Amino acid sequence: MNKHNTALVLIDLQKESNFGLKQMDQVVTNANRLINGFREMDIPIIYTRQINRADGVGLSLKDPLNDDGTPFYYNSASENIEILDEIKPKNGDIVIDKYRWSAFHETSLDLTLKSLNVKNVVIGGVVTDGCLVTSVFDAYFRDYQIHLIKDICTASNTGSHMASLMMIANWVYALKIYDTANILKCMNGEEYEAWEADTVDPLHYTPENMQEIFNKLNEQRRYSS
């Protein structure tokens, strides 16, 4: 992968905790390692933040509210909208604020990526079954090559997390799925492993075999950079 046409896009790694996200400590640890590695290679780092105005203006239809009518999630009057301290942006990083799930919906993200001549989008974040999956599909629809980092993604329940990653794997044709260690190997020009579909719609799953089929995402091929 060419470092000069690549960017790291981190979806909503914010202080919001009302979702009860699973394994968030692991997500933050991996994201921190990924961010540091990409900074060393001078690859652009782009954070997104979901923000809901405290007065409710522009709020999504039926978005959950507190008893006082303020937004339950990502309330702009709280620090929940801020990026987690462990991985907060530094000078030169880019922060894109958004008001709907997809990071591309009526934001400057696409314009920013194009101005940076980005072709390869390395992406991960939360929640897998909401802002992450919609952002991945919208990136694909804009003809970016998608590199999904599975171990910096999580959701509030395991089933939705697995189903979302498998839907992405089935239908985003321009896709590779990595863990943090292997994307860093790839960017450093070393041999690496990644999952890539060899046919359309490769992961057929039922409620009974979901975990078994999901495990196929760990069946990674070895590549030489």
pLDDT in tens, 151-173: 999 999 999 999 999 999 999 99
| Residue 22, pLDDT score | 85
pTM score over 0.85: yes
Q: Across all residues in the chain, what is the average pLDDT?
A: 96
At residue 18 the predicted structure's pLDDT band, cuts being 50, 70 and 90, is: confident
What's the domain range around 64? Answer: 3-224
Please give the tally of structural domains in the chain. Answer: 1
Q: Which tens digits make up the pLDDT trace of 105-121?
A: 999 999 999 999 999 99
pLDDT at 12 over 80: yes
The confidence score (pLDDT) of residue 184 equals: 98
pLDDT digits (tens, 9 = 90+) for 165-208: 999 999 999 999 999 999 999 999 999 999 999 999 999 999 99
CATH code of 84's domain: 3.40.50.850
C-alpha 160: how far from chain center: 15
List, for residues 133-148, the tens digit of each pLDDT value: 999 999 999 999 999 9
What pLDDT, in 10s, does the model give residues 33-85? Answer: 999 999 999 999 999 999 999 999 999 999 999 999 999 999 999 999 999 99
Would you state the pLDDT for residue 225?
75
